[in-house]
Amino acid sequence: MKYAFIFAHPDDESLSSGGTIAKYVNYGYQVSTLCLSTDQERKKEYLKATEVLGVQDVEIYDFNDVEANEIEIKEKVIQYILKTRPDTIITHIENDYHIDHRVAYNIVREGIEWSAHETQYKNPHLVSKLYTSETTVLIPNPHILVDISDFYEKKEEAIKCYKSQLYKGGEDFYIRFHKYRTQMRGTQASTQYAEAYMQIPLKKNSPFYRQKQSEL
């Protein structure tokens, strides 16, 4: 299985899905991460955090803003999907409070659509599944709860790599918020720690896809 975790900013991957990333790397799945924007300080933190999580295939774009560069980033994401050919993509929830997160969701949705068009690309790729995850906005009724109990310490270690961000929200806000949230999700999942996801339906068939028909 190939998983691509695509988020707007350095730290989003660890806050949203750090436990899941570490778990799936440990399982031997092919895991890649893509960050759509950065600055030089946070880029170093991102590379350190993804190393903590065990990710080998790491990419980050040098845009300082996602919304202002949406068109250019979208084309790069299409090429990224065509290159990495993931089965499953994980990104931000559609109604996140942060404009860059909402734009990142839209970029991923359109990237999935266009990368499957055989009229546009010689070697199109159809992503099978799309999941959205929690950053600081909670999902009201999650579809999937992933048990990360054995990998929570890796998640927290990765979060602590972002020293430039840890002051935000007050002392230890990031650590406490995400620990308590994953504990709450763990209670829902009958385990210690968990991360929550929504599954977003993707179409399997299109006149412009190689796969033009399926059974129900």
**For the segment 34-70, what is each residue's pLDDT rounded down to a tens digit?**
999 999 899 999 999 999 999 999 999 999 999 999 9
- On whether the CB atoms of residues 11 and 39 are closer than 8 A, the answer is no
The verdict on residue 216 lying in a domain is no
For residue 93, pLDDT beyond 90: yes
The pLDDT value recorded for residue 170 is 86
- Return the pLDDT at 150: 98
The strand pairing partners of 199, in sequence order, are 131
Please tell me the least confidently modeled range out of 16-20, 65-69, 108-112, 163-167: 163-167
118 within domain boundaries: yes
Q: Tell me what the mean pLDDT of segment 86-107 comes to.
A: 97
Cβ atoms within 10 A of the Cβ of 177, count?
14
pTM of this structure: 0.96
Give the confidence band of 171 by pLDDT, cuts at 50, 70, 90: confident
Q: How many domains does the chain have?
A: 1
Show the tokens assigned to 85. 């050919």
* Residue 169 in this model has a pLDDT that exceeds 90: no
- Quickly state the pLDDT bin for 194 (edges 50, 70, 90): very high
Please check the confidence at residue 146 and state whether its pLDDT lies above 90: yes
Considering the domain boundaries, does residue 145 fall inside one? yes
Does 209 reside within a domain?
A: no
- Mean pLDDT for 81-110 is 97
CATH number of the domain that residue 98 is part of: 3.40.50.10320
Q: Is the pLDDT reported for residue 136 higher than 90?
A: no
Quote the pLDDT of residue 70: 98
Q: Residue range 93-118: average pLDDT?
A: 97
Instruction: Give the range of the structural domain holding residue 137, as residue numbers without chain letter.
Output: 2-200
- Is 212 inside any structural domain? no
Please report, rounded to a whole number, the percentage of residues in the chain having pLDDT higher than 90.
Answer: 95
In a domain, 213, yes or no: no
Averaged pLDDT, 88-92: 98
Q: Supply the pLDDT for residue 119.
A: 93
**Could you give the CA distance from residue 54 to residue 72 in angstroms, rounded to a whole number?**
29
Instruction: Supply the mean pLDDT for the chain.
Output: 96
DSSP 3-state of 109: helix
Q: Is residue 66 situated within a structural domain?
A: yes
CB 168 within 8 A of CB 174: yes
Nearest 5°: CA angle at 9, between 5 and 15? 65
Residue 207 counted as domain residue: no
